[in-house]
């Protein structure tokens, strides 16, 4: 009998299925499972070095599963099964949390409507450091402002979705003021199209597909190039918004840069001045 059979797995497919099933559970669940499995194995097998092999292997497998939770790019290719373990999705965890959130009425404190209380729209960066820091640094509560996020807090095209969202905020959602708030230490600063496309190829995007896009007239190099100076980028974005043919002249558009650690704001453009741009 093989060590896999002694460990309770009859083949690589069964092993993979059991592994994925157990690793989907939360930390408390798999710790209990590991303890129970270890007790069963030590009871069934004679206490000698050879019989500990399946136990040790199983423990290693569980450690690998735990590492995957904390290391997003961790993977392991088992020589026994040729099965590659990849990072599991957060979807199940989020769905489970959401069910509890709704059942417990956690939504009650967030009641508001679709119109921002401060009549304010903010274009910000999608940086994870901004998730809670930005509203806190500005003194905003839920329902105070419309917040639009993208990479770099930029309007790269006057007829793109970001500009459309700002116009919808003004004409449909009673917004009367706009702020562009980028941040220092932004990932878009110095973004290189060549490096970006190399990473795309490493993720399986064929090079000929990029050539096809270029042949179709899409300037990938320009589209995937970031900025050198964040304050200059803010000025350019404010200018694009303010000068848009559908943006009312009475809507002030401000430009600021926030520190990603302290939350300190640096004013770049005061949209209330007559010569803001």
Tell me which residue has tokens 């096809």.
212
pLDDT tens digit sequence for 190-227: 899 999 999 999 999 999 999 999 999 999 998 999 99
Calculate the alpha carbon distances from 55 to 11, 22, 39, 118 in Å.
17, 16, 9, 61
- What the chain holds in terms of domains, given with CATH numbers, is 3-93 (no CATH), 112-191+226-269 (3.40.1050.10)
Mean pLDDT is lowest, of 78-87, 137-146, 255-264, for 78-87
Q: In the structure, what pLDDT confidence band is assigned to residue 3 with cuts at 50, 70 and 90?
A: very low
Residue numbering of the annotated binding site: 125, 127, 183, 186
Calculate the alpha carbon distances from 259 to 70, 230, 271 in Å.
27, 11, 20
pLDDT tens digit sequence for 20-50: 554 555 554 555 555 565 555 555 444 454 4
Q: In the structure, what pLDDT confidence band is assigned to residue 66 with cuts at 50, 70 and 90?
A: low
Q: Cα separation of 224 and 219, whole Å?
A: 9
Strands 177-183 and 265-269, sheet pairing: unpaired
Q: Cα separation of 115 and 172, whole Å?
A: 9
Report the SS3 class of residue 216.
coil
Cα-based angle 119, 124, 126 (whole degrees, multiple of 5): 135
The CA R_g of the chain, rounded to the nearest whole Å, is 27
Residue numbering of the annotated binding site for Zn(2+): 125, 127, 183, 186
**pTM of full prediction above 0.85:** no
Report the SS3 class of residue 199.
helix
Q: Cα separation of 115 and 93, whole Å?
A: 31
């Amino acid at each position: 009998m093989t060590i896999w059979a002694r460990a309770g797995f009859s083949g690589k497919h069964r092993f993979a299925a059991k592994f994925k099933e157990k690793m989907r559970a939360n930390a408390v669940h798999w710790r209990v499972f590991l303890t129970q499995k270890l007790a069963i194995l030590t009871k069934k097998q004679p206490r000698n070095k050879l019989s500990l092999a399946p136990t040790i292997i199983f423990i290693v497998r569980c450690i690998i599963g735990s590492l995957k939770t904390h290391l997003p790019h961790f993977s392991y290719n088992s020589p026994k099964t040729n099965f590659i373990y990849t990072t599991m999705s957060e979807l199940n965890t989020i769905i489970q949390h959401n069910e509890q959130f709704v059942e417990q009425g956690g939504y009650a404190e967030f009641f508001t409507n679709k119109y921002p209380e401060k009549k304010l729209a903010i274009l910000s960066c999608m940086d994870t450091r901004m998730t809670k820091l930005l509203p806190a640094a500005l003194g905003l509560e839920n329902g105070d402002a419309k917040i639009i996020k993208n990479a770099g807090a930029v309007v790269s095209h006057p007829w793109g979705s970001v500009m459309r969202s700002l116009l919808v905020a003004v004409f449909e959602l009673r917004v009367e003021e706009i702020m562009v708030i980028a941040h220092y230490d932004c990932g878009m600063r110095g973004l290189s199209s060549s490096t970006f496309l190399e990473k795309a190829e490493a993720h399986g995007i064929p090079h000929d597909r990029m050539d096809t896009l270029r042949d179709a007239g899409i300037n990938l190099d320009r589209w995937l190039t970031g900025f050198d100076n964040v304050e200059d980028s803010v000025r350019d974005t404010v200018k694009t918004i303010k000068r848009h043919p559908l943006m009312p002249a009475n809507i002030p558009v401000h430009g600021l840069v926030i520190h990603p650690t302290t939350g300190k704001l640096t004013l770049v453009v005061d949209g209330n001045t007559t010569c803001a741009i």
